[in-house]
A and B are shown apart, each in its own frame.
Chain A
Amino acid sequence: MTRMTFAEAARRALAEEMRRDPLVWALGEDLVQGGIFGQYKGLVEEFGTERIVSTPISESTIMGAGLGAALCGTRPIVEMRIADFTLCAMDELVSQIAKVRYMFGGQGRASLVVRMPQGMWRNSAAQHSQCLEAWLTHIPGLVVVAPGTPADAAGLLKSAIRSDDPVVLMEPKNLWTAEGEVADDAAPIPFGVARHAASGDAATVVTWSACVPVVEQGARECGIACDVFDLRSLWPWDEAAVVTSVRRTGRLLVVHEAVTVSGFGAEVVARVVEAVGTGGLRAVERLGAARAPVPFSPPLENAMRITPARVAEAIRRVAGA
């Protein structure tokens, strides 16, 4: 085990996969310079400009070329720079990548990874801070992955690269510099298996991505022993682990940075209610963002932010109800 940042864990995992499989390559803006978060740093020196490809600011073609390259047998990593820019390539992702295997009756697989770092980071304002995971969990064909720790950044990236499905990997921008223990030559982490981050009977708390350390801290600070799950992947997601826990606790809190309305938390709550029945829950709450864009100024942005204190308050409400 080595202590390292989220970005370094992801960088090492990518390098290991590129050494393992010569068909893995990456394309996106500024990759030769290491990517804007350093997650590609040093890779061009080892793998050359044929496999670490800096591209024009042409999101549609970054995404669409990734598809064409996958259909011809390679395994591209499509780097979107930040998730917000994926909106310039939605046709390529949603109507092409997600659907080719199905539309063509199983001919051709879009075996590729789309990396789209997301969320609030350094007061980036409304066009550079969005969490849009629920847009993509809604799309048949896509696997949606949202790591929240350095170890998962490595293990989930490896699974994404080895997956024959198209995988959207949403790294939390705010956690690139977060540190954690990462195994040397980390093993791939399967999709759909939550990390059981804390144990307790007072409530079941479900989260992912940038809210993982926030929820862990909030749960510690409130002093109420909760079952905390980091989902790690949102499609597929570990419904069984969450439902099993809620059957015991009868109380469910879902925390995410994205706007609450139509967020993925709504899906989690709905599936749990379907599984345990309306009488199986004594309390349920979603803690997410207001249905407002992310503002620039620090006090304004902080007003939108999920904090450990807000998580602690929500746990008290749910556990005490």
Chain B
Amino acid sequence: MPGRSNETARRIAMLRDMARIRAFEQEAVAAMRSGEAPGVVHPSIGQEGVAVGVCSNLKRADRITSTHRGHGHAIAKGADARAMMLELHGRAGGSCGGKGGSMHIADFAVGMLGANGVVGAGIPIACGAAQAIRLTKEDAIVACFFGDGAVNRGPFLEGMNWAALYRLPVLFVCEDNGFAAFTRNSAVTAGGGPAVRAEACGVPATAVNGEDALAVDAAASELVARIRGGAGPQFLHAKCYRWEGHTGTDVAAYRPAEEAAAARERDCIRRLAAVLEAEGVPGAEIASIEAQAVAEMQGHRGAAMVAPWPDPGAAFSDVQDAGAPA
């Protein structure tokens, strides 16, 4: 559009990705609840600004590690959303051929090294990925997403020390949605919290409002630049709120309804949309972007429902070469 700044165009792209993540997860939760998709999903609805704010500062060659709540990270890194929806439905053509499901989405073609069903497990993997990148003199960094619950696991402590010790090119992103599964994380976490723990190991920490995508973007931009410049690992503590329960079936009765309602009022997508409107982007254009995102994901869901199932023989492939199942 004539007269539109690069910065505005970039923000519109961020809004589009955030809307796509939300639409993807709304379709995924609906598919799970209706029974058309097997298993469970862990939605990150309300947290889209963290995934997009960080990944907007990454290149294709950069790697990410993700969590059980990882759809947003994958889409923000450029993963194929249709293949992801097929994967959630357990269909042939899914990101992992139907062998992983929601908790194991990976898309190596875009540097997405995998969601993970074990809390904090991506931290050591991210450290090793960064060491390999250094050994092979690749021009890339690693962004490692994990939740606030992960800071109480041993690999968090090990990984912070390790990354600082070897000055690895890793951006640690603690997506602090306030809950470790069904429990308020503050009720089970002593001391000064994630950032204090990271800094105690020598990883500089920056706090940001994770419900403000532009704030996340600005902070990530600065930290990524430092990492690319050789400053070693950096830690971004992004406070946000998990709108849904732990899984799509968890009604989250353990927290006041008003608290979740207030979080929905602070919607990161509406917040970014308001900034764009103030910059002169027409409301109709924003509505169109969001409608397109919904249409895209509804299309993927419709395609997934009628996609063929994987060949049962595939259950026995890709185990190992030596000593493969007979």
Measuring CB to CB, which residues of chain A are less than 8 angstroms from any residue of chain B? 23, 25, 27, 50-51, 53, 55-56, 58, 60-61, 63-74, 76, 91-92, 95-96, 100-108, 140-143, 163-166, 191-192, 235-236
**Nearest B residue to A64, CB-CB:** B124
Chain B positions 101-153 with a Cβ under 8 Å from a chain A Cβ: 104, 106-108, 113-114, 116-118, 121, 123-136, 138, 142
A162–B138 CA distance with the chains assembled, in angstroms: 22
B319 at the interface (CB under 8 A from A): yes
The 16 sampled A-B contact pairs (Cβ below 8 Å) are A50-B134, A58-B161, A58-B162, A60-B124, A61-B127, A64-B121, A69-B132, A69-B135, A73-B132, A92-B121, A103-B99, A103-B106, A104-B114, A105-B100, A107-B107, A141-B320
User: Across the interface, do A72 and B63 meet the contact criterion of CB distance under 8 Å?
Assistant: yes
A27–B162 CA distance with the chains assembled, in angstroms: 12
> Which 5 pairs across A and B sit closest by C-beta, in order of nearness?
A64-B124, A68-B128, A65-B128, A236-B323, A105-B96
> How many residues belonging to B are interface residues under a CB distance threshold of 8 Å?
50
User: Across the interface, do A69 and B124 meet the contact criterion of CB distance under 8 Å?
Assistant: no
Choice from B94, B131, B320 contacting A140 with Cβ under 8 Å: B320
User: Across the interface, do A105 and B94 meet the contact criterion of CB distance under 8 Å?
Assistant: yes
A101–B96 CA distance with the chains assembled, in angstroms: 9
The interface residues of chain A lying within 8 Å CB-to-CB of B159 are 61, 64
User: Across the interface, do B95 and A105 meet the contact criterion of CB distance under 8 Å?
Assistant: yes
The interface residues of chain B lying within 8 Å CB-to-CB of A72 are 63, 128-129, 132-133, 136, 138
The interface residues of chain A lying within 8 Å CB-to-CB of B321 are 163-165
The interface residues of chain A lying within 8 Å CB-to-CB of B142 are 68
A235–B326 CA distance with the chains assembled, in angstroms: 13
B154 at the interface (CB under 8 A from A): yes
B312 at the interface (CB under 8 A from A): no
**Nearest A residue to B104, CB-CB:** A103
A72–B128 CA distance with the chains assembled, in angstroms: 8
User: Across the interface, do A56 and B132 meet the contact criterion of CB distance under 8 Å?
Assistant: no
Residue of A65, A66, A96 with most partner-chain B CB within 10 A = A65
B245 at the interface (CB under 8 A from A): no
Q: A105-B97, A108-B113, A140-B325 are in contact. List 12 more A-B contacts (CB 8 A).
A: A60-B154, A61-B124, A61-B162, A67-B125, A68-B65, A68-B132, A69-B129, A71-B108, A74-B132, A95-B121, A104-B104, A143-B322
